């Protein structure tokens, strides 16, 4: 049938029409020269930090956010403090901006994982990610970032350390799906235990005294 295709020597689909015999394929398809490959894109060029820093003189949130991006992506761990300061300035100029809140959370988390960690970096990351998600609850990427990054340190740790339940949103999502007349897809494994437990505000004393585990 017309419109069918096979892979050429470069693995690209090419149209093949008419007879499908082995000789025909050899003569008209397999021996066909491969089309020239597309030139790879040029390598990324580091931005001019000095120029971007000068642009922040306009005192716009966008300029400070772009400067923070450049510092974070190209400045290395030594510029993380400056990147955080740039994002914080952008946030002061545009309070509640979810994109800036998310970037600030990433910067704090990255510094927490670096040799330049400062006290409170992890908590600051969680707070800014939560603020980003609050500004746009349907932003799946932000939600996943919080789950993956925060869960890595706290999912199976003490409940006193948990900033929030990690998977309580599952029931919320199911309720929303049912509210619009649809049936939620069943999960292979339901979230349990520390995955849905709320943070504990203190240690709950045991109601029973300790006893030997062996009844004999």
Contacts of residues 41-48 at CB distance under 8 Å and 24 or more positions apart, as own/partner, are: 46/74, 47/74
Quick one: pLDDT at residue 205? Answer: 46
Quick one: pLDDT at residue 65? Answer: 96
* pLDDT tens sequence across 175-185: 999 999 998 88
Tell me if 103 sits within 8 A of 72, measured CB to CB.
yes
Residue 45's φ and ψ, nearest 5 degrees, are -105, 130
CA 10, 11, 12: angle at the middle one, nearest 5? 95
Residue 13's φ and ψ, nearest 5 degrees, are -70, 130
Q: What residue ranges in the chain does DSSP mark as E strands? A: 5-7, 13-15
Quick one: pLDDT at residue 15? Answer: 57
Structural tokens at position 134: 């609050």
What residue ranges of the chain have pLDDT lower than 50?
1-4, 155-161, 202-203, 205-206
Q: Give the CATH class of 49-136.
A: mainly alpha
Structural tokens at position 63: 């300029």
Tell me if 107 sits within 8 A of 87, measured CB to CB.
yes
How many beta carbons lie within 10 A of that of residue 193, not counting itself?
8
Q: Residue 155, SS3? A: coil
Quick one: pLDDT at residue 157? Answer: 45
What are the boundaries of each domain within the chain? 49-136, 155-199
Quick one: pLDDT at residue 156? Answer: 42
């Amino acid at each position: 049938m017309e419109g069918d295709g096979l892979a050429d020597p470069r693995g690209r689909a090419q149209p093949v029409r008419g007879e499908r015999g082995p000789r025909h394929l050899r003569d008209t398809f397999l021996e066909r020269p491969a089309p020239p490959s597309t030139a790879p894109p040029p390598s990324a060029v580091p931005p001019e930090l000095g120029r971007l820093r000068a642009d922040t003189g306009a005192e716009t949130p966008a300029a400070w956010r772009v400067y923070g991006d450049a510092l974070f992506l190209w400045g290395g761990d030594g510029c993380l403090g400056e990147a955080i300061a740039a994002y914080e300035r952008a946030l002061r100029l545009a309070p509640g901006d979810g994109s800036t809140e998310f970037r600030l959370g990433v910067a704090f988390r990255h510094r927490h994982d670096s040799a330049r960690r400062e006290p409170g970096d992890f908590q600051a990351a969680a707070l800014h990610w939560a603020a980003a998600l609050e500004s746009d609850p349907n932003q799946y990427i932000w939600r996943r970032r919080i789950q993956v990054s925060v869960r890595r340190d706290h999912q199976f740790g003490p409940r006193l350390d948990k900033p929030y339940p990690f998977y309580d949103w599952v029931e919320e999502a199911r309720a929303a799906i049912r509210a619009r007349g649809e049936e939620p897809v069943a999960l292979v494994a339901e979230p349990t235990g520390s995955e849905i437990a709320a943070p504990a505000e203190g240690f709950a004393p045991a109601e029973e005294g300790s006893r030997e585990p062996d009844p004999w």
